[in-house]
């Protein structure tokens, strides 16, 4: 890894706030650069081809401990992935491990070596960049996401066409791109009532903590009494197979001509003025 690239990656890791978002986008563009030149028409991203552009190969194993791991080898990397994972989880894990290649020396120098010490911040960075690898803006434009006014259709595009998991699709739709304003998450029915599953929820970053809390109360109320509706709010519920749970999206109604984040935020705040 050249000093210039080391400095670039370190700068990405040190960023915060809006600069972090810009760094995540820059890193994903860097990793996708060669792939999109050759195979932009392949939707969703074909991860084995992407891996080849990053001097990596993906190997499925039945007895792997954990979900995935990256292993440097002479001339590149081997990414081991557990075979039993669902398609969406498999794709997320592979994309995550491919981002880790940024933190090693170049493969043309033999076996890549760690150039930047591993950290929790790196893990967070890899999670964020992986979403953009799986849902690059170029592909969202091609499948018509930005021309669609119904967030439920957008969500289905992300899960079905791009093969994203539901939590990941909600994060892409609500946080990464201004496609809707609201919250999403998996709710599990417990003996004491509906509970939001830890780690499954996401919310539009433009919402305050109090607004997020209020909207989660609305979501729980909907699950308890689905016959009730709140004007100007959409509820999109998907029953989870083999689980006593529901993945639920709650977002403001906003036409395609009103898809800006500020417009959607005003629409939400009109429901819960504080």
Percent of the chain having pLDDT more than 70? 91
Give Rg (Cα) of the chain.
Answer: 20
The confidence score (pLDDT) of residue 139 equals 97
pLDDT digits (tens, 9 = 90+) for 141-183: 999 999 998 889 999 999 999 999 999 999 999 999 988 899 9
Distances (CA, A) of 260 to 143, 171, 256: 20, 17, 9
The confidence score (pLDDT) of residue 243 equals 67
DSSP code for 103: G
76-82, strands of its sheet edge to edge: 56-61, 76-82, 68-73
Domains of the chain are: 3-134 (1.10.10), 139-269 (no CATH)
Average pLDDT over residues 53-69: 94
Average pLDDT over residues 55-70: 94
Short-list 3, 21, 130, CA closest to 12 = 21
Q: Which tokens in the block code for residue 28?
A: 């994903």
Residue environment code for 20-43, b if the CB has 16+ CB neighbours within 10 A, otherwise e? beebbbbbbbebbeebbeeeeeeb
Short-list 87, 201, 68, CA closest to 134 = 87
Burial (0-12, 13-18, 19+ Cβ within 10 Å), 112? buried
């Amino acid at each position: 890894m050249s000093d210039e690239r080391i400095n670039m990656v370190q700068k990405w890791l040190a960023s915060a706030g809006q600069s972090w978002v810009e760094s995540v986008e820059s890193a994903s563009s860097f990793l996708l650069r060669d792939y999109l030149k050759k195979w932009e028409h392949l939707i969703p991203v074909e991860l084995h081809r992407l891996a080849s552009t990053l001097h990596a190969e993906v190997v499925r194993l039945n007895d792997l401990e954990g979900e995935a791991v990256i292993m440097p080898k002479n001339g590149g990397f081997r990414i081991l992935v557990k075979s039993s994972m669902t398609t969406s989880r498999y794709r997320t894990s592979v994309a995550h491990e491919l981002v880790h290649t940024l933190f090693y020396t170049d493969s043309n120098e033999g076996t890549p070596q760690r150039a930047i010490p591993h950290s929790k911040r790196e893990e967070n960075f890899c999670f964020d960049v992986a979403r953009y690898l799986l849902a690059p803006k170029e592909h969202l434009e091609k499948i018509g996401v930005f021309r669609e006014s119904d967030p439920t259709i957008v969500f289905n595009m992300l899960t079905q066409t791009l093969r994203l998991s539901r939590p990941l699709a909600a994060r892409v739709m609500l946080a990464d791109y201004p496609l809707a304003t609201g919250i999403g998450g998996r709710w599990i029915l417990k003996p004491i009532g509906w509970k939001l599953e830890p780690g499954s929820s996401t919310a539009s970053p433009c919402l305050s903590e109090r607004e997020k809390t209020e909207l989660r109360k609305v979501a729980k109320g909907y699950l308890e009494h689905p016959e009730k509706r709140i004007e100007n709010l959409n509820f999109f519920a998907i029953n989870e197979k083999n689980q006593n749970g529901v993945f639920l999206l709650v977002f403001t109604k906003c036409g395609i001509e009103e898809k800006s984040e500020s417009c959607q935020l005003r629409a939400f705040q009109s429901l819960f003025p504080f």
